[in-house]
Amino acid sequence: MGTIKHRGEHQFQAIIRKKGYPNKSKTFETRALAKDWLEKTERSMDAGIFVDPAAGPTDLLDSILKRYLEEVVPTHKGHESEKYRINKMRRDSLARYRFTAVTSDLIAEYRNDRLKEVSPSSVRRDLELLRSIFNYAQQEWRIKVTNPVALIKLPGPSKARDRRISKDEETWIVRTLETTPRNTDGSFAEGTRNPWVQRALKLSIETAMRRSELFALDWKNIDLEQQTAFLPSGATKNGYSRTVPLSKAAVEILHTLDPKTEGAVFPTTNNAIKLAYARAVVRARKLYLSDCASTGKGPKPGFLEDLHWHDARHEAISRFVPKLANILELKAVSGHRDIRSLDRYYTPDSAELARKLG
C-alpha cells in the first residue's frame, strides 16, 4: 500500500513500495493529485501493465535538454559546439513544451523558423543533435516517447563555401587592423583598438588553425625552436589533440607577442576578435572603394565582400597544397580526421593549374 507524506507547503510526496517493483515516489502540489497518481500507479502494477515512463508528465523539454547537457555532453569530444546548440535550444519556445508532448509538427515549425535565421546546414546539425537527445532519452533513461525528429525531413546540406581571402584582400585587411592611438581630443582614430586581432589573423593564415584553436593556445605548449604548437584534445573542434607545425613566418609572428613560459597566447576573447575582424573588413572595403574613386579605377567585383574569419583557414589550406603534395601531410597540418573533408577547403587557383598544365 502506498503512502503520502506532507513535506511542506504544497508538497505532498506519494511513495509506493511494492514487491517486484523498484520503489517509486513523486511529489505533487495537492494531496488529491498525489492520491490519484498513487492509486492509478498501483492499479497498473496489480494488472501487470505498469511501465515506468522515467519522465513525468510535467517534465519539459528544457529539463531533458538540461540533463543531457550536464550528464552526457561532457563525455563527448568537441563538446563546446554541443553546449552552444543546446543552450540555444533551451531559449527557444519549443523548450517550454512537455517532453512527451513534443510532436513532429512542432519540430517542423522549429525547423522552418530556424531556416529564416541560419543556414540549412546549421539547422540540420541542430536537428541531428535533438534527434540524438530523444534517442538517448529512450535508450538510456527509458523514457517512453516517440522521437519526433525522425518523422520530419531534415534540410539538405548547404553548398560548400569556397570563398578564399586573396593576397590583395589580406593586405587591405591587415592594414586596416593596425592598432590606432587616441586622437588629441581623447577619441580614437578609425582603426582597431584590439592589439591581438591582426596577429591572430596572420597566424591563422600561416597555420590554418581555427579561431577557437588560436585562443586555446598556451605558451607552455609552444616550442619556437622546434617550430611546433601543441593543441590538447579539449582545444580542437573534433576533440583529438594534434601538434601544429609552424612556418618561419608563424614563428616570427609569435615572437612579436612577447613569448612567456605559460599563459594564453592571445589574452582576449574569441568573440572580441570576431567582432573586430568584421568591423575591419567593412572599413577595408570602404577605404578600397574610396581609393578606387580617387584613382578612377573600377572596383573588382566582390572584392572585400562576403568574408568570414574562417575563410582564413580555407586560404591557408589552399596555400599549403603546392608545398605539401602528400595528402596525408596536408591532413596532419589541417587537423581533419577525414581526407574527404579537405575537398571543401582546397580551392585551387585555376590560373595556377593552367600554368602547371603548360
Residues with a catalytic annotation lie at 210, 237, 310, 313, 336, 345
Tell me the C-alpha distance between 266 and 58, whole Å: 46
First to last CA, the chain: 90
Distance of alpha carbon 142 from alpha carbon 136, whole angstroms: 9
Residue 248: all three cell numbers together = 618561419
Nearest Cα to Cα of residue 69 among 50, 37, 41, 91: 91
Q: Which residues contact 4 (CB under 8 A, 6 or more apart)?
A: 12, 13, 14, 15, 31, 34, 35, 38
- Contact partners, residue 90, CB within 8 Å, separation at least 6: 62, 65, 66
Quote the crossing angle between the two packed helices 167-176 and 197-207, to the nearest 10°.
Answer: 160
